[in-house]
Structure 1
Amino acid sequence: MLIQLAEDLPAYFYDVFVTRFDFWLVFGIGAQLVFGSRFILQWIASERAGRSVMPLSFWFLSILGGLMTLVYGFVRREPVIIIGQGLSTVIYLRNLALIFRERRRRAAP
């Protein structure tokens, strides 16, 4: 079984990354890179601050990467991606709304 899996693995990766290679695969990978970069950004910001922080750009990258992944999900007709990213993007937008409301409240005299 394990030997068969090892033999089938190259064929699987060839099918996924070569046979199915098109614009939308590149777009989807780009979306994941944008989405994943938010964690690197958050890590760098936290290291610089010496504590855990969530920079505003984290939420913008979340929205951009989430929307890109959502588009990919619609194009590929992937209900799991559509549901996950659709809900997540609403949550990211709500977090930004809360952040901006807090900033306005602090700025008010």
Structure 2
Amino acid sequence: MSGLFNYLHDVFVVKFNAWVVLGFVAQGFFTMRFLVQWIASERARASVIPVAFWFFSIGGGVLLLIYALYRRDPVFIAGQALGLLVYTRNLYFIILRGRQASKG
């Protein structure tokens, strides 16, 4: 457990500087497009983007998260991890809607 704590301390505390702040701000702007889409999907209770978008997003997000963990980049790690939650939630809506439609 101390290894995990040391890793997280190194990534999120030791490496924290003005460039990391800039990176978080930049990631925030990038993430806003997904947040806006996510809110629209939550309100509609359905995804408004093709299913393939979410599969590619999850595949790319997982690979980028692995890369970010390797690079020990806190901005990249936080951004990709949050994105994966959004992608998964939208696929949940697609699956739920498909089940509801098949029950007629």
Offset, 1:54:
2.2
Give the number of aligned pairs. 57
The reply to whether residue 100 of structure 1 matches residue 63 of structure 2 is no
Equivalent of 1:86, from 55, 71, 81?
81
1:1-109 to 2 correspondence within 5 Å? Answer: 54-109=49-104
Amino acid at match of 2:102: A
Offset, 1:80:
0.3
Amino acid at match of 1:68: L
Q: Distance in 2 between matches of 1:93 and 1:74?
A: 20
Choose between structure 1 and 2 for higher RCO, CA contacts under 8 A separated by at least 6 residues. 2
Percent identity over paired residues: 44
Flag structure 1 segments of 5+ consecutive residues without an equivalent.
Answer: 1-52
TM-score when scaled to structure 1?
0.50
RMSD: 1.1
Flag structure 2 segments of 5+ consecutive residues without an equivalent.
Answer: 1-47
Q: Distance in 2 between matches of 1:98 and 1:55?
A: 12
After TM superposition, which residue ranges in structure 1, 4 or more long, deviate above 4 angstroms? none
Offset, 1:90:
1.0
Q: Distance in 1 between matches of 2:92 and 2:68?
A: 25
Q: Distance in 1 between matches of 2:49 and 2:76?
A: 25
